[in-house]
Amino acid sequence: MTVISSASATLTPQGYKRTPTQDMGELRREAGGWRVGERVLADPLGPDDLAELRAWRGLRVRWPYSEGRQETIGLITALAAAGVPLTADAVPPWAERADPDLADLLRRWPERTPDGAEAPADDVGAERSVADLRREEHSVRLRRHAWRSHAADAPVTVVLASRRPHYVPGALAQIARQRHVDLQVVLALHGFTADRVRHAVQEFPHPITVLEADADTVFGDVLAQAAARADTNLIAKWDDDDWYGPEHLADLLMARMYSGADVVGTAAEFFYLAPLDVTVRRTDYTSEVWSDHVAGGTILIGRSTLAEAGGFQPLPKGVDSALLKAVHAGGGRIYRTHGLGYMLRRSEAAEHTWRLPLAHFLRVATNQWRGFRPSRIMEAE
C-alpha cells in the first residue's frame, strides 16, 4: 500500500462538501505539473488547492504515460486521504502493481444517478440526494484506504449498558464484527441478571466484563460504573438497539487520528422508524466538522478527557448531552465525522431517553424509504 507523504499528511476530510457545485473534473498531468480544470495544483498539494477541489463532484484520473508515476500514486493517495472522490475508466498496469486496492476503488465508483428503487424518478431532489450519498460512500472507502497505513489497531473498551436483554445478543454480534480495532467490552446489565444473556456472552470472541446493576440505579451511574472497569485509554459508548457498520470503531479511530480531537463521534443521519417500517435520512447535521454535538451512541473519548469532564453524570437521561457539554465547556475539542456507518432505531418515544415523536423525524428527513435501508457503508445483511 502506498503511504501518504508527509507533505500531504495535513490534508484531511475536514470540510468535505456533501453536495458539490461542479460536475466531474479531470486530474491530468501537463508540463511536469498537475491540473484540474484551469487550476495548476501546488507541489505539494496544499489547503487552498483542496478547498477548490471540494466543489467538484469528483475527479477522473488521466494517467501519465511514463513520467511521474510515483508522484501520481502519491497525489492520488493524498486526495483520497482528504476524501476527494476519485475515479478512473481504466488503470494502467504500473498503477495496479503499485496499489491494487486503490486501483480497484478507482474503478468502482458508480457515477450515474441510482435507479427508481432508491429515489422516485419524479423526485429530482431525492435523486440528487441519493447520488450524493453514493458519492460520499465512495469518499469514505477512499479515506479508509489512504489512512489505513497510518492507523494501528488501537485498544478500545466498548461500554454497553442495557435494560433490555433481548437486544444484547444483537448488540454483541455487531461489536464482534468490528474490523481494524483491538477491543474489549464492558457490558452493564441494568435491572436483569447475566443468566438471561449467558449464551451471547459466552459466544462473544473478545474479552468481556459483565456488570449487574439494580433496576433503580440511575442510568448515568450504570455508565460510570462500566467506564471505571475499562482497561484501555479509549472508551467507546455503544447503544444496544442501534445498528453499526463493521468499521464504525475504525472510522472513529481514523477521525481521531487526523483531527486530534478529544472526543470523536458521528452525525445522526439514518433512522429506522420501527412502528412505520420506514428508514429516513436527515442531512441537516453536517459531518467532518468541529462541533459541540455528536450522536450519543457513537462517542469515542479518552479516559483522561472523561475524567476531566467529571465522567458520566448521575442522571436518568441526557447523560450523553451532559458529557459533551462538560467537555466543550472545559475546552475539549469535539469532532463529528460521517454518519454513514450508524443507524438509530426509533420505536415509540416512551422507549427512549431522547423522547421525540416519530413525526419529528419525518419532518426533518431528506430521504425516506420503505423498510430497513441503511447506507452501503453499513454492509447490512
Q: For 107-132, how does the pLDDT look when each residue is reduced to its tens digit (9 = 90+)?
A: 998 654 444 334 333 344 556 678 99
The pLDDT, as a whole number, for residue 357 is 77
49 and 172 co-located in one domain: no
Number of domains in the chain: 2
Domain contains 10 = yes
Instruction: Report the alpha-carbon distance of residue 144 to residue 130 in Å, rounded.
Output: 21
- For the entire predicted model, the pTM comes to 0.91
Domain contains 22 = yes
pLDDT, one tens digit per residue, over 314-332 is 999 999 999 999 999 999 9
357 and 275 co-located in one domain: yes
For residue 230, what are the domain limits?
155-378
The domain boundary residue, chosen from 119, 148, 177 = 148
Q: What is the average pLDDT across 328-355? A: 83
Q: What is the average pLDDT across 238-247? A: 97
The answer to whether the peptide bond before residue 44 is cis (omega within 30 degrees of 0) is yes
CATH code for position 257: 3.90.550.10
**pLDDT greater than 90 at residue 182:** yes
The pLDDT, as a whole number, for residue 153 is 74
| Model confidence band, residue 7 (pLDDT cutoffs 50, 70, 90) | very low
| Model confidence band, residue 352 (pLDDT cutoffs 50, 70, 90) | very low
Lowest mean pLDDT among 115-119, 126-130, 135-139, 156-160: 115-119
The pLDDT, as a whole number, for residue 283 is 86
Instruction: Report the alpha-carbon distance of residue 366 to residue 376 in Å, rounded.
Output: 17
Nearest CA to 266 out of 189, 344, 340, 347 is that of 340
Q: Are 256 and 298 in contact (CB under 8 A)?
A: no
